[in-house]
Amino acid sequence: MSRRMLRAALLAGVALVAGTFELASAVQAAQVTQLAQVTPLAQVAQLAQLAHVTPLAHVAQVAQAQASEVAQAAQVPQAARDAGELALAVNRAIAAGVENLRRGQLADGHWPGQEGPHPGGMTALACFTLVKSGVKPSDECVRRALAAVQGTTFRSTYSHAVRLLLFDALREPATWREPARSSLEFLIAKQDGATGGWAYPDGGVDMSNTQFALLGLRAARRLGLEVPNATWVRAANGLLRFRDSEGRGWAAQEGGFKYWTHREASGGMTAATLAGLAVLGELAEKSSEVHVLLRKHAKSLEASEQWLARRFRADGNPVGERAWTPSFQFAYLWAVERFGGLTGRDRLGERDWYTDGATWLVDRQKPDGGWGGWHDDTCFALLFLRKATLTVSDAPTPASDPLFEGESVVPPKRPKPDAPRIVDWWVAGPFADKGVDLATPPFDPAKVRARDKAKVGSRAFERLALVATGWSDLDQLTKRSADQSLWLLATTLANSGERPYDVELWLSLEDGWSVWLDGQRISFDRRVMAPIEESVRVPFELSPGEHGLVIVLEDLWGAAAFGARIVEPGGAPPGAWFAAGAVLPKARK
């Protein structure tokens, strides 16, 4: 049953009161009768289950005697109905994600990934995720993973930390306390004495290793192992070294935390560090030195929390003052979950971080049940959805419930393979003047009128044919390149029909963008370090006639990547009514 049909069933009642046919069985009749004894929100959930596990015709055949009870479901406030839908979607996403991890396990019990620098780490993370997602320790998949973990020599901060998280999640401290001791001893020994942080085996101290080490130490403490007070004190001092209090240019910021001390702050590192400080806060009553440090820096840490609250977004990891990146997006969301879970926060600023993050993750789940490109992406997504930081591991999993079987709740709607790219553009640039910025370009995009050799500032337009099979590198095509620059692209979209059409512009980009249609900005955002993939969607209505499309492209480093397609909602190419190009035939007017 599609999500649209399910929503119709919930909100319109799918003619549940029709009563024109007999129920297929007494069991179904009993299911419907129970609606009279439950709360309105529970009615919504039961309606959803009934609509999924029985033929839709049976759902429509409820007897008239239950009409008033069933009708109450339609009176549930919109927010409650939306919450019910999201809960259903999340449960199905978790079930599909769990099955994706099961399929990814190798015959020897391991999961592949980063075995060179972090032997056993991916296996421990996948097993930890499954247990946190409700899979029983007695499950064959978990038993094989535990055997693989016990047979592996762990060598890195990441892998030892996740090994401790796994042992803690099993909730059998007497069984796993001694096996965990070696990982605790490794973390204590590898703490950097000068900075209080942790590093890769052959690298410098960074916040990523440090935040994982703190999670491992917390897990060891929960297992009943003793962590020296000096370790906690050095860690508290070390975390504060990564707070950013100065910056310049477009990456300026105040209050966030950084991966390395010389980098700009990011949302992922800020959330992870604040979660690490929350771990230290749990010890404040037992360690006067940690307590004093946290009190001394209370105002600074509050500023860091405000930095994250102002910049929080579920669809991108904030970087610096105004940018964001999809890099480490799933790890970022799990860091937000840890911070929220450890501190009891359900909002960041005005945003409900869980609702925003869960909605984004459900929409981004792949048809195979996974996320991103690696098993760790799927693990981080599941840990967020499951609210793993404070969720007990033996809560029931939806994986075996028939309600949650089938495909991902939201099917992919990306452009279909036969949707052609827009390849005919006017291009000007690069604009690489000192201080050039996407938000304030050295020209007015609303007034751009592209034509052959027309100038925008000191740059002239040229007609350029982009590649038709993927994204184009403007640096290579124009034989001009400049990092920290802007490019200006313009083309014409034509609708020869007699009515407006809803369309979607899909862009392949690496950095930021600003999209203008007929002099009005319809999309703006900035990101860095993004995989060059078709991931930016700009929906709009295209009325009859010709329309000017102008795109300002930001190129911070590397390729000036760009690609564009126009499709109908659902990904199909537009019909014969549509045309696009720098110069269109006069007949199109």
Q: The whole model's pTM is what?
A: 0.61
Question: In this predicted structure, what is the pLDDT of residue 289?
Answer: 86
Higher pLDDT, 170 or 409: 170
Half-sphere exposure of 585 (CA within 13 A, CB side): 5
Q: Is the pLDDT of residue 74 over 70?
A: no
Q: In this structure, is residue 71 part of a structural domain?
A: yes
Question: In this predicted structure, what is the pLDDT of residue 245?
Answer: 54
Choose one of 371, 393, 415: the last residue of a domain: 393
Q: What is the mean pLDDT of the chain?
A: 79
Range of lowest pLDDT (183-187, 330-334, 523-527): 523-527
Residues 96 and 28 in one domain: no
Q: In this structure, is residue 55 part of a structural domain?
A: yes
Mean of pLDDT values over 572-587 = 90
Residues 463 and 560 in one domain: yes
Residues 320 and 355 in one domain: yes
- Give residue-wise pLDDT tens across range 294-311: 888 788 788 888 888 888
Residues 451 and 572 in one domain: yes
From edge to edge, which strands make up the β-sheet containing 501-509?
A: 472-473, 561-567, 501-509, 533-542
**231 vs 210: CA distance, rounded Å:** 12
- Give residue-wise pLDDT tens across range 81-98: 477 788 888 989 999 999
Q: In this structure, is residue 217 part of a structural domain?
A: yes
Residues 72 and 86 in one domain: no
Question: In this predicted structure, what is the pLDDT of residue 318?
Answer: 79
- Give me the domain span that covers residue 8: 3-76
Residue 393's CB is within 10 A of a number of other CB atoms, namely 19
What CATH number has the domain bearing residue 444? 2.60.120
| Number of domains the chain is built from | 3
- Give residue-wise pLDDT tens across range 255-292: 767 665 556 778 888 888 888 888 888 876 677 888 88
Residues 437 and 376 in one domain: no
Q: In this structure, is residue 47 part of a structural domain?
A: yes
Q: In this structure, is residue 549 part of a structural domain?
A: yes
Give the DSSP letter of residue 224: T
Residues 443 and 492 in one domain: yes
Instruction: With residue 429 as reference, give the H or E element that holds it.
Output: strand 424-431
Residues 529 and 467 in one domain: yes
Q: Is the pLDDT of residue 585 over 60?
A: yes
Q: In this structure, is residue 131 part of a structural domain?
A: no
Positive/negative CA dihedral, 230, 233, 235, 237: negative
Q: In this structure, is residue 434 part of a structural domain?
A: yes
Residues 238 and 376 in one domain: yes
**561 vs 553: CA distance, rounded Å:** 9
Choose one of 393, 416, 451: the last residue of a domain: 393
Q: In this structure, is residue 174 part of a structural domain?
A: no
Residues 368 and 512 in one domain: no
Residues 12 and 103 in one domain: no
What CATH number has the domain bearing residue 367? 1.50.10.20
Choose one of 29, 60, 76: the last residue of a domain: 76
Residues 71 and 86 in one domain: no
